[in-house]
Structure 1
Amino acid sequence: MRVLRSSAIAAVAAATALAALTGCAKKSDDKDSNAVDVTATDDKCQVSKTSFAAGHVKINVRNQGAKVTEVYVYAPGDRIVTERENIGPGTRAEITATIKAGEYEIACKPGMKGDGIRQKITVTGDGAQAKSDPELDKAVAEYRKYVQEQADETLPVARKFADAVKNGDVDGARKLYAPSRVGWERTEPVAESFGDIDPKVDVREDGLEKGQEWTGWHRLEKSLWETKQISDEDKKLADRLMADLEDWSKRVGTAEITPTSMANGAKELLDEVYRNKITGEEERYSHTDLADFEGNVDGALKAYELLKPVAGKHDPALVKELDQQFAAVKQALDAYREGDGFKSYDTVGQDDRKKLSDVVNALSEPLSKLAAAVAK
């Protein structure tokens, strides 16, 4: 779940520096008719064109504001088509996405909160459907199968977790908490694309919008580790969590998935690791951040491996680097394994967290280029 907190100021400052290196976008090529420039400030979101052809679209973002921002392309109902987070002040980011014909909104979110400053856009024609690559079609089909499997396999584990909560079994619920989240963490960008499910199941207390009720995993996490008691309200929330996860499992098969959304989703998963897991913000009560870390990396690796045959043809040097950097992240994470899981993250010192951060950043930079390689 994406949210910015005051306690993450240092991480955001580092992200700003990282963005200058990893998200740099070249000025739009006049020959590229589907390049769209987005200039974000703290109170404006200027779009160079509000109508363009469907197909592979390059969105060049420049943040001229004083706040870290993020940019989204929303379909009706706030379904997320593509996004890029952690765009620091004075930096640029380049997003390559496949967008079908229709009406959309581009949103800039200074401070990375709220509904954002929005501009309506129209995408015309059927360019997105005109080009078909059998290898990429296969990759999308396999990834769709993967995300459905992850959702379906989550339900029985989450049911055991919910039952433990309803039975007042604090120790049992604690043991099942992290395992119940694995499938979600592996496929989080797809789940988030629906817009309404993520805020119900994965929001943290300081990420709540005004008037929003706090439900989901992290509400129960706080009871299990901070108050160490399960209330009658918690038992009701366990049932609500299951209802929302069952809704996710039913709807995930309808998600809009393209090769570029897979690639961008892999990058988003690495952003999740950097922004929330490395800082310890994600699981602030249970300290099970490393399990989430692994889930995010596993999901990113799956998307990459499916896209690798095509990316390798277009950019073999990129694939070579990604292979090396994924292996390095896996090796770094393995150092913290303990039994069937991981060490409690509150036992991981700042020096070790910095090392983890560095290895994640080293993967994030080349991974940001995957969508462009696939779209060539």
Structure 2
Amino acid sequence: MKKIFLLIYFMVIGHHLHGQYLFEGQLTEGASDKSVYLSVIEDYRKLSRVYMEQIFRKTVTDSLGYFRFQGSNLPEGNRIYRIHIDNCTDSRLGANHVFNGCSDTKSITFIAHNRDTITFPKTFANEVLCDISSTNPKSDVLLQVDRLKEEMVYDFSNFRSAANRKLNTKKWFEHLQRFGRQVNEPLAELYIYDFLSDRRNETYTYYLKDLAQNEYYADLESRLRKKYGNTVFTRLYADEIAVDGNLRALNGTGSFPWKWIFAALLTLSILLNLFLFVKSQRQNAKPNLAKLTVQERKIVDSILNDKTNKEIATELFISHSTVKTHINNLYKKMNVSSRDEIKSLFLGHNKNQPGV
């Protein structure tokens, strides 16, 4: 199914496909009939290892160990590709192959478009897939990034102190981002971003802080959209920095703010229980009628019968202001603040009780 998806992918973008590409190289002499695979990587979060759904071409080496990929089925613009070889037999392909289970596996990741001629020469030590000779000046920038990452690791390993880590993190973030701008290839910057923002790396915490104050990330999104439009990797990057930005806003460290959420829930629970307790106490309280004068009891009876102040004044032959005075005294004696609370206080009691 995944191979069918890749086939459809290249058919859909077929109107952009023209030109011939040629990727070739040589393994060690005598390494004949070795499987060599060509993959396209649209999801930059899947750069760390081989995924079966990325593979769209396979060839085998000839009697002298040469391999070649040639055709016109690549997108017109630059994309990230991988060539890898392994000694897995056909029976071992599958899970072992996907998770790099074969001990003899070699790969190289590079940038290319559909008109490139690229050679992967052997080095002086007969190492393979370690160097690139290409008509595309951007093809080897990922190798250059890998060399910078090795220097970064060396800097961090000199002193395993917090001070050294802090200073070197800031230095290498700036250095790698500056390099990405200089090569003028957003795909190389995605390659760098994938490394610096990886949650498994020590750089992740600094990345969240940098994201909040550095315009570089928004600029990179603009460069991606300008050069590559609404591609898979552009959308993925835009979504990621939006989510990480919100995460950073929730908590300055970037870790999920469980302690604050727990504190808020605990406070809410205490307030809710206090409210329910007070409400229960009021509902269960017995109205103490002994504290009330005869006139106040009559006013309580009128309130329970939903009579207005004017109606109470007419019925008891007193002034409107006197009614208000009696009601204010009722509030104080019964520890309430409204007519509704008086009604609630007497709820469940017989309204026809003598004197009420």
Normalised-by-shorter TM-score class: 0.3 to 0.5
TM-score (norm 2): 0.34
TM-score (norm 1): 0.33
Higher relative contact order (CA 8 A, sep 6+): 1
| Rg larger for | 2
